[in-house]
Amino acid sequence: MIELSRLETFIYAADELSFSEAARHLHITQPTVSHHIKALEKELNVQLFDRTGAGLRLTEAGRLLLPWARKVLRDSIELKGMMNALQDGVVGDLRIACSTTAGKYILPQLAARFSQRYPGIQVSILRCTPEHIVPRLLDGEANLGVVSYEMYSEEMELQEFFEDAITMVVASNHPWALRSSIQPSEVIGEPILMREETAGTRRVVLSELAKHDISLEDLNIFMQLGNAEAIVRTVAAGYGISFVSSLATECLLESGKVVGVHVEGLELSRKIYMARKRLAPPHRPQEAFWGFVHDPANLDLLRLADAR
């Protein structure tokens, strides 16, 4: 079994391309660094560094090992944190930045359950726009972020949070309210209330319509609004149709003021993700919440978004 200390030494040596710098960061001697690397190379039966007069350079094997080593070390830190949390109380602040309508319905209830289990942790949910999630995480302003798109960044780590269904809604007196479904082409010409350009709902809807050769220019965008609840109420008042997170429609659907209509051939759902900074300093409240998200006891909450 590979020793974690050897993987940690390898990560620092790979980042610095210097055994002496790795030794300085780890507060060990340079011969110890060399010993760890040689032992790791022997155990894996590969050469991890090319050692030349000009310095160190990662081999192909070294480049392949590096992201894997980071993940193993990060998972080990997370596991130790969770196990420690079982032994004694976890205390501190946890700041979660949320940029999605769906997230703000699920996240507060999940945070409330978390606070009951970990009363020593003070949870704050920060409302922000999608483009500000990553800067807040990188700057340490937030410990976790909830986003409606899959980001590709070496600095960020994602896990799936839940899947959110998107519903097309019309007013109860709209002709479509009596129909079980419509064709995508029928949307053309109808006044549509659309979310802002950065909204995940908008991206999904436009992507699905494009599969039927319907572009943004083909649509009659009556109004753009940045609030899903405001959109649903405006639809209920008879000012157009819209596509919104199913979570935002619950009250008005139950009251009969709006009706959900199925659009044939459109896969209207999106994945919501939880994000955090890779290799951030250990933060036990964050680690505890990251693992708490998919506790079996929370399945009822995570299924709310796609059960409507």
Share of the chain above pLDDT 70, in %: 95
Nearest to 147 by CA among 139, 157, 252: 157
The answer to whether residue 195 scores a pLDDT higher than 50 is yes
Residue pair 201/244 in contact by the 8 Å Cβ criterion: yes
Q: How far apart are the first and last CA of the chain?
A: 47
Pull the structure tokens for residue 32: 């110890």
Per-residue pLDDT for 217 more than 90?
yes
Instruction: Say what the pLDDT of residue 264 is.
Output: 95
Is-same-fold flag (90-162+271-302; 164-268)?
yes
Tell me: domain 90-162+271-302, CATH 3.40.190.10, correct? yes
3-state secondary structure of 294: coil
| Residue 279 pLDDT | 76
- Spatial distance between the Cα atoms of 97 and 166, rounded to a whole number of angstroms: 22
CA distance 62 to 56: 11
Domain 164-268 superfamily per CATH: Periplasmic binding protein-like II (3.40.190.10)
Instruction: For residue 37, name the pLDDT band (cuts at 50, 70, 90).
Output: very high
CATH of the domain spanning 4-85? 1.10.10.10
Average pLDDT on 248-268 reads: 88
Confidence grade of residue 308 (pLDDT, cut at 50, 70, 90): very low
C-alpha–C-alpha distance, residues 17 and 134, integer Å: 28
pLDDT of residue 35: 92
Pairing of strands 121-127, 258-263: unpaired
The per-residue pLDDT for 86 is 57
CA 205 to chain centre: 19
Q: What percent of the chain has pLDDT over 90?
A: 48
How many degrees, rounded to 5, is the angle at CA 199 between CA 243 and CA 207?
Answer: 65
To the question of pTM greater than 0.75 for the whole model, the response is no
Is 175 a residue whose pLDDT tops 70?
A: yes
Q: 182 pairs with which residues across the strands?
A: 263
The two structure tokens encoding residue 281: 């300093």
Q: Which residue has the tokens 């479509």?
A: 176
Is the per-residue pLDDT at 1 higher than 90?
Answer: no
What does the pLDDT read at residue 110? 94
**Residue-range domain boundaries for the chain:** 4-85, 90-162+271-302, 164-268
For residues 150 and 294, what is the distance between their CA atoms, to the nearest angstrom? 18
Short-list 226, 100, 225, CA closest to 163: 100
pLDDT at 85: 56
Q: At 26, is the pLDDT very low, low, confident or very high (cuts 50, 70, 90)?
A: confident
CA pair distance 198, 128, nearest whole angstrom: 12
Helix (H) or strand (E) holding 251: helix 250-255
